[in-house]
């Protein structure tokens, strides 16, 4: 049974979207204001309102199209769409859910590889030092993307000299608490 329009909390994509993010695509009446205001719309493969439409119509293959789109990885969570939406649809939350689902099903858009690497390197830095450690983040990102190894290599010495980059991480005191947040998020995601 399709859940569009009546929020049954079943195991369908829409059911889990409601359950995990509290968001329902049935509120959207396709006015397009979100897409008109989105600063990234021109670079997306589908505008944000079309992603919502794909979820609403629930036709075969549309779910995979939304999950395999570049759009969900380009979204910056800037919330411009939310501010404009007359129905208060929280698109950043929907995009966040779709990214997790896309990873879970292995449907990531090929162009999203670098963005995903950056997300992972950023989270690793937070998990292990409790704050952002720029040198570690860049090293982690480049290790995941060897083709970028020598990009910006001339910029780093200048940044070191200006004191913008620290060679060693500054560990915060509450790292154990940060670790628990990650553990909780992991359990929520995997159910284990």
Query: Which chain residues interact with ligand SF4 by CB under 6 A?
Result: 28-34, 37-38, 40, 48-49, 52, 75-81, 84-87, 89, 91-92, 95
CB closer to ligand SF4, 50 vs 137? 50
Give CA–CA dist 51/129, Å, rounded.
36
CB closer to ligand SF4, 34 vs 112? 34
Q: How far is the CB of 145 from ligand SF4 (least distance, A)?
A: 23
Q: How far is the CB of 8 from ligand SF4 (least distance, A)?
A: 21
**Residue 112 burial class via C-beta count within 10 angstroms: exposed 0-12, middle 13-18, buried 19 and up:** buried
CB closer to ligand SF4, 46 vs 133? 46
Could you say which DSSP state residue 150 is in?
Answer: T
- The SS3 call for residue 43 is helix
> Within its chain, how far is the Cα of 31 from the centroid?
24
Q: How far is the CB of 23 from ligand SF4 (least distance, A)?
A: 10
Would you state the structure tokens that stand for residue 110, as one six-digit string? 């090929």
Instruction: Report the half-sphere exposure of 58 (CA within 13 A, side-chain side).
Output: 12
Give all strands (DSSP E) within 47-148, no chain letters.
none
Decide: 109 and 69 in contact? Cβ < 8 Å.
Answer: yes
Q: How far is the CB of 2 from ligand SF4 (least distance, A)?
A: 19
Q: How far is the CB of 116 from ligand SF4 (least distance, A)?
A: 16
C-alpha pair distances (Å), 14 with each of 1, 50, 69, 70, 147: 11, 15, 17, 20, 38
CB closer to ligand SF4, 69 vs 125? 69
CB closer to ligand SF4, 40 vs 116? 40
């Amino acid at each position: 049974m399709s859940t569009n329009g009546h929020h049954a909390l079943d195991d369908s994509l829409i059911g889990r979207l409601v359950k995990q993010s509290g968001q329902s695509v049935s509120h959207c009446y396709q006015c397009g204001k979100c897409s008109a205001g989105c600063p990234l719309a021109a670079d997306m493969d589908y505008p944000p309102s079309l992603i919502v439409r794909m979820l609403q119509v629930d036709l075969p293959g549309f779910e995979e199209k939304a999950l395999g789109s570049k759009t969900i990885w380009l979204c910056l969570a800037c919330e411009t769409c939310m501010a404009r939406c007359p129905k208060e649809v929280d698109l950043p939350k929907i995009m966040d859910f779709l990214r997790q689902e896309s990873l879970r099903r292995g449907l990531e858009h090929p162009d999203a590889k670098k963005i995903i690497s950056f997300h992972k390197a950023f989270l690793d830095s937070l998990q292990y030092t409790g704050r952002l450690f720029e040198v570690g983040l860049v090293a982690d990102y480049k290790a995941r993307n060897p083709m970028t190894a020598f990009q910006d290599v001339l910029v780093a010495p200048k940044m070191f000299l200006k004191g913008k980059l620290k060679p060693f991480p500054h560990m915060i005191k509450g790292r154990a608490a940060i670790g628990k947040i990650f553990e909780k998020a992991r359990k929520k995601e995997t159910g284990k």
